[in-house]
Amino acid sequence: MKILGIETSCDETAAAVIEAKSKKRRTKIITNIVSSSLTLHSKTGGIIPEIAARKQIEYIISVLEKSIKSQKIDAIAVTIGPGLIGSLLVGVETGKTLSFAWKKPLVPVNHLLGHIYANWTGDENEKIPEFPAIALIVSGGHTDLVLMKNHGKIKLLGGTLDDAAGEAFDKIGRLLQLPYPGGPSIEKIAKNGSPKRFIFPRPMLDSQDLNFSFSGLKTAVFREIQKIEKLDKQTIADIAAEAQQAIVDVLTKKTIKAVEKHNVKSVLLCGGVSANQKLRNEFEEKIKKTNSKFFVPPKNLSTDNAAIIATAAFYNYKEVPFERVTANQELYFK
Ligand code: KG4
Ligand code: ZN
């Protein structure tokens, strides 16, 4: 079957068509169009929800046209949350309208589930993850560790008590006067820095639970910057390198703890922050030493796109009459 995915939870306007044949194989991406209003937000150092939603209304038709072309669609998958409400509404109302006009089933999708299912699409020849699996979702708004016993059988093991990992990257990026979003900017400049010049805390590294906290790290960076008279390029690079290392250390150690506790077959890294090469490398290296197999999507599927939403819909297929589909900005795992 061919599924049209629609994703507008944050600043992206995205639509994709995937072809799905069997739950034993990865879905095939036919088209995956992502249009972003990021350059508008990089000037303001963060997303202005009103501007994001206005741009999404402007972009959605052409993004849909480019992704659908003249293909026959069997079902529509749309992100209903979590995210920015004005942005979510653009995608949800578009999905509902198409479902009504085409008389095709509509499948509402949790954005976080979409990130997880980035590991079930892409290269068709690559194996799919085996259950049980641990997934670490690291995005702009979430840092969640979940246990998956099967499709639809997800248990939340831990999450962030304050800032998400991506949020920490973005806020630290802003403190270092780097372009928004902070994650990719910090990764780039950290290559020229040393993590040894500064020492930042690794919040909750040794706590017994599987929760995270990143606001203390941001405060430590803020305090350090206040002490510095002139923030030169090398200092920015050194702070970025140590802040990145602190985030990577916590994410890796907590995930390994969950992997050992639950003795899983697969470990899935996903969400926008999983585009970070340092994080990928450390996960790969540490998971090699366990009995689990490591999965991470290609970088273009780590960040927000609609192919992952359509893929999540296929593996968790549950159509809902369009009249009953609503956006839910607080949607989470039950
Ligand atoms: O999943 P995503 O695209 O959108 C949300 O669902 O939030 O994640 C966006 C987040 C941002 O905080 C951004 O700074 C972070 O992912 N990010 C990165 C990298 N690329 C994106 N963080 C660290 N390193 C990167 N290369
Ligand atoms: Zn996302």
CB 77 within 8 A of CB 307: no
Q: Which ligand is nearest to the CA of 297?
A: 1
Task: Please tell me the distance between residue 271's alpha carbon and the centre of ligand 2 in angstroms.
Answer: 6
Task: Please tell me the distance between residue 118's alpha carbon and the centre of ligand 1 in angstroms.
Answer: 14
CB atoms within 10 A of CB 130: 12
The predicted pLDDT at position 46 comes to 83
Mean predicted lDDT score pLDDT of the chain: 96
pLDDT tens readout for residues 15-74: 999 999 999 999 999 999 999 887 877 778 788 999 999 999 999 999 999 999 999 999
Task: Please tell me the distance between residue 180's alpha carbon and the centre of ligand 1 in angstroms.
Answer: 10
Reported confidence tier of residue 333, pLDDT bands at 50, 70, 90: confident
pLDDT tens readout for residues 68-95: 999 999 999 999 999 999 999 999 999 9
Ligand 1: which of 139, 144, 279 to mutate, most ligand atoms within 8 Å of CB? Answer: 139
Phi-psi region of 204 (alpha: psi -120 to 50; beta: other; left: phi over 0): left
CB 120 within 8 A of CB 27: yes
Whole-angstrom distance, CA of residue 176 vs CA of residue 193: 13
Mean pLDDT for 137-161 is 97
Mean pLDDT for 318-328 is 98
pTM to 2 decimal places: 0.96
Residue 140, pLDDT above cutoff 80: yes
Q: Whose CA is nearest to atom 7 of ligand 1?
A: 140
Task: Please tell me the distance between residue 90's alpha carbon and the centre of ligand 1 in angstroms.
Answer: 22
CB 166 within 8 A of CB 272: yes
| Residue 118 tokens, joined | 């980035």
Ligand 1: which of 10, 13, 169, 280 to mutate, most ligand atoms within 8 Å of CB? Answer: 169
Q: Whose CA is nearest to atom 10 of ligand 1?
A: 140
Integer Rg of the chain from CA: 20
Q: Whose CA is nearest to atom 2 of ligand 1?
A: 272
Residues with CB under 6 A from ligand 1: 10, 139-141, 166, 169-170, 181-184, 187, 271-273, 275-276, 303-304
Whole-angstrom distance, CA of residue 173 vs CA of residue 175: 5
The DSSP H or E segment spanning 242 is helix 233-262
Residue 198, pLDDT above cutoff 70: yes
Give the distance from CA 279 to its chain's centroid: 14
Mean pLDDT for 200-222 is 96
| Residue 221 tokens, joined | 């960076």
Tell me what percent of the residues of the chain surpass a pLDDT of 90: 94
Mean pLDDT for 308-325 is 98
Mean pLDDT for 288-300 is 97
The predicted pLDDT at position 295 comes to 98
The predicted pLDDT at position 45 comes to 79
Whole-angstrom distance, CA of residue 275 vs CA of residue 273: 5
Between helix 233-262 and helix 165-175 the angle, nearest 10°, is 170
DSSP helix/strand/coil, 323: helix
Residue 334, pLDDT above cutoff 70: no
Please give the backbone phi and psi of residue 257, each rounded to the nearest 5 degrees, phi first: -60, -45
The predicted pLDDT at position 44 comes to 80
Reported confidence tier of residue 182, pLDDT bands at 50, 70, 90: very high
